[in-house]
Copies of this chain bind each other. A is one copy, B any other.
Amino acid sequence: MKKKICVVVASRANYGRVKSLLIEIKKNKKLKLQLILSASAILQRFGNVLDIVRNDGFKPDAIVYTVVEGENLETMSKSTGIAIVELSTCFANLKPDVVVTVADRYETMATAIASSYMNITLAHIQGGEVTGSIDESVRHAITKLSHIHFPATEKSKSRIIKMGENSKFVYNTGCPSIDLIKNTPIRNNRYQINQNGVGCIIDFAKPFLLVVQHPVTSEFGKGFKQIQHTLKAIDKLKIQTIWLWPNIDAGSDEISKGLRIYRERNINSKISFFKNFEIDDYAYILKNCICAVGNSSSFLREGEFFGTPVVLVGTRQNGREHGKNIVKSNYNNEQIYNKVKKQIKKGRYTSKQIFGDGNAAKRIVQKLISSSPPIQKKITY
């Protein structure tokens, strides 16, 4: 009988991280893919991933609405509670052999709890990394609930083992997000991307910037001020800019408010705002922008692979492993402005493939087939 592997995709970012894995699971004869979409992955406001998933040939086994509106710390917590209730029912129906959860967003904790509490083997991708925000706590707590670990780097692997996990079930496979972007083209004009943007029209034949700045939950209440600095710096640079709306983390409302006010007052700015992208469009943009600004983890991960110059703003990625393409800045418009200038001048970096060589999904699938950890965990010391 096929081993049933259930993957829970909870956001647009999640999907990008596991798409190559979904493909590999689906085509493997020993495995049966079960796909659940939840949280922001099915909300129009975040660019419904559902349609993209279907276009990619996947058929979700369950679609669960779990987000309690409010975008503050309280509703972040409540949404996690609702997600546990819903996912418990899903898992009871689907009876997976292994549940796969990805990374460290607050709602991935729901997947981890429902799965481990129900004695279902839990596999975790991208554990062992270090960052800021609540993600830092969530990631390591998920590690302590997981039975199989697929970290993306050697350092992450070593950290997971240090935390007391059984090294027999910790595999450095590289990150499946790299698999997907390996063959991203350089500089062909992607005019059609403009269709989903609001604001100026981007000329992809000319230099452009990319900005992605999410809230930092542990600095809740400061997002509105923080985004002013980035906006001021970008505005002053007078370079055409692709700006992605923030994700659904607590504090998202504050940042969105800042962006909306800016937009209403600067109808003729050089910024175009986007809700989300197809994965390969995003890869194309990240690869070809002259500098990426903000705090997206994709800057450190896919950005390093591409050698994209990055100005990393604030604390969200504090402590995460990164390449030389990263230059850090405080929430300070002058500092951001100056560092972007320097990065543009410096130009593209050479990648060291820190987060993998693009064959992660294949390795993960092999281990999903061969690994059978005991359901009863025990710390190694």
Instruction: Contact check, A140 vs B144: say whether CB atoms are below 8 A apart.
Output: yes
Given contacts A80-B113, A81-B84, A159-B379, contact A70 B74 (CB under 8 A): no
Please report whether the interface of chain A is mostly helix, strand, loop or mixed according to DSSP.
Answer: helix
Instruction: Contact check, B64 vs A117: say whether CB atoms are below 8 A apart.
Output: no
Instruction: Contact check, B82 vs A77: say whether CB atoms are below 8 A apart.
Output: no
**Which of A66, A86, A91, A118 counts the most chain B CB atoms within 10 A?**
A118
Residue of B with least CB distance to A134: B117
CB distance from A269 to the nearest CB of B (A): 14
Residue of B with least CB distance to A93: B62
- Asked if A44 is at the interface (CB within 8 A of a chain B CB), the reply is yes
Given contacts A70-B43, A70-B65, A144-B141, contact A113 B159 (CB under 8 A): no
Cα–Cα, bound, A56→B111 (Å):
36
Query: Interface residues of A, CB < 8 Å — how many?
Result: 78
Q: Which residues of B contact A359 (CB under 8 A)?
A: none
Q: Which residues of B contact A257 (CB under 8 A)?
A: 44
Instruction: Contact check, B84 vs A136: say whether CB atoms are below 8 A apart.
Output: no
Given contacts A81-B82, A116-B137, contact A378 B319 (CB under 8 A): yes
CB distance from A98 to the nearest CB of B (A): 16
Instruction: Contact check, B89 vs A89: say whether CB atoms are below 8 A apart.
Output: yes
Given contacts A64-B89, A81-B88, A130-B378, contact A73 B117 (CB under 8 A): yes
Cα–Cα, bound, A198→B118 (Å):
33
Between A and B, 11 residue pairs with Cβ closer than 8 Å are A64-B89, A65-B75, A68-B82, A76-B118, A81-B81, A81-B82, A81-B83, A81-B84, A85-B85, A117-B250, A137-B145
A-B pairs, top 6 by smallest CB distance, nearest first, are A81-B84, A81-B85, A140-B144, A77-B117, A141-B141, A77-B88
